[in-house]
Amino acid sequence: MSSASPAAVRRVDNPISLFDLQRQRLRLEKGIQARIHTVLEHGQFILGPEVDLLERRLAAFSGTSHAIGVSSGRDALTIAMMALGIGPGDAVFVPAFTFAATAGAVVSVGATPVFVDVLAETFNLDAKDLDRAIGEVKAAGRLVPRLVMPVDLYGLPADYPAIAAVAARHKLTVLADAAQSFGGALGNTRVGALAPISATSFYPTKPLGCYGDGGAILTSDAGLDEAVRRIRSHGRQGTGDAAVQLGITGRLDTIQAAILLEKLDVFEAELERRRAIAAAYSKALGDLVTVPKVATGSASAFALYTIRVPDRDALRSRLDAAGVGTGLFYRLALHQHPAFAKLDRRPLPVSERLADEVVSLPVHPDLTDDEVARVIAAVRAALATA
Ligand SMILES: *Cc1c(COP(=O)(O)O)cnc(C)c1O
């Protein structure tokens, strides 16, 4: 605009976006193109050799016996629940503060999501409220408590030891919605190995992303591995004709696997960079805003770096004016979505408060040190004028 000061023009000329996949593409393009070309030449577009190789690499990375490439993160959750035999009449306990797909997958297998509150400090499932919610469902007697689906929000693993203890007491299975946390860990145990079965996503902006839709299921249970492989391929056993159970079109494309193989080679370095940026933000902003807490021994994949501020909309518009991209994950808790409005409501005060206070800052691995400093300066300036 003509009225803008020279400084403002300069900032708007070099906006910092929340995600920047083009910089990563420029770094990796040669290798990715070569791998895609190989797929075009061999022509095995469905379950080709790249899928097989990627599955072995993902299992080795996460420390599980099996990894199965599937069509998306949402499909990974659906297929995992089908493999576990979850269906109508079953209660599946999910955190109320997460992406809508977590509950959507539950509804799509005919089961009923039960919303559980989260902890404000970690944004993740509150094991005490989980215990309460299971007790309520048991007392009501309409649904059978079957499954708990913790979400590793923003990349930070949920408190699996506490959740597993509650689940075991009530004889529930645990399925991890690890869509945002591939690369994260609790102690020496990586995401994928933190629950009996885990689902992750390779949506382009997730920590490990492909160039379209993709996902994976991770497990060390050979029976679940076999069931998942059948379900992702129309319920067929191996190359046989017979559908031995209900399945879906749920495979990971060979071309997406080829892209992921190239990105997996640099994934550890990218995780390091995300963590270094997050550490710089927390050090520089911790006195002004509530910064994400990562307990000693936990490692977040930092899919997102999310702070809490009382007037998040004002901060967001000031950052926008300063050329700093932000995102709101999530503006609504699950029970506030029209699609889930008919489900029973429990008190979910923390989830509702977080939905009003969160704002995510850029944390992608291609940010320069100069850009990290600009984000910090912009946040401090925006809050100083508040
Ligand atoms: C992204 C995401 C999903 C769904 O993954 P898609 O690959 O987009 O289907 C599910 N749960 C959570 C928590 C997510 O962030």
pLDDT of 265 reads: 98
Residues 6+ apart with CB under 8 A from 330: 97, 98, 99, 355, 358
CA of 202 to the centre of ligand 1 (A): 9
* Comparison of pLDDT for 62 and 240, the residue scoring more: 62
Res 10 pLDDT > 60: no
Pocket probe mutation, ligand 1, options 102, 125, 202, 256, max atoms within 8 Å of Cβ = 102
| CB of residue 201 inside a 6 A radius of ligand 1 | yes
* Residue tagged 């070569």 (tokens): 34
pLDDT of 2 reads: 42
pLDDT of 7 reads: 52
| CB of residue 101 inside a 6 A radius of ligand 1 | yes
How open is the CA angle 76-82-84, to the nearest 5 degrees? 100
| CB of residue 98 inside a 6 A radius of ligand 1 | yes
User: Could you report the per-residue pLDDT of 155-166, keeping only the tens digit for each?
Assistant: 999 999 999 999
pLDDT of 344 reads: 87
Peptide bond into 330 cis (omega under 30): yes
pLDDT of 386 reads: 58
The answer to whether 55 touches 258, Cβ cutoff 8 Å, is no
In angstroms, the CA 165 to CA 167 distance is: 5
| CB of residue 151 inside a 6 A radius of ligand 1 | yes
User: Could you report the per-residue pLDDT of 173-189, keeping only the tens digit for each?
Assistant: 999 999 999 999 999 99
User: 0.85 cut: is pTM over it?
Assistant: yes
Find, among 200, 176, 179, 189, the residue nearest to 55 by Cα: 200
CA of 73 to the centre of ligand 1 (A): 5
pLDDT of 240 reads: 79
In angstroms, the CA 80 to CA 272 distance is: 30
Residue 130's pLDDT band (cuts 50, 70, 90): very high
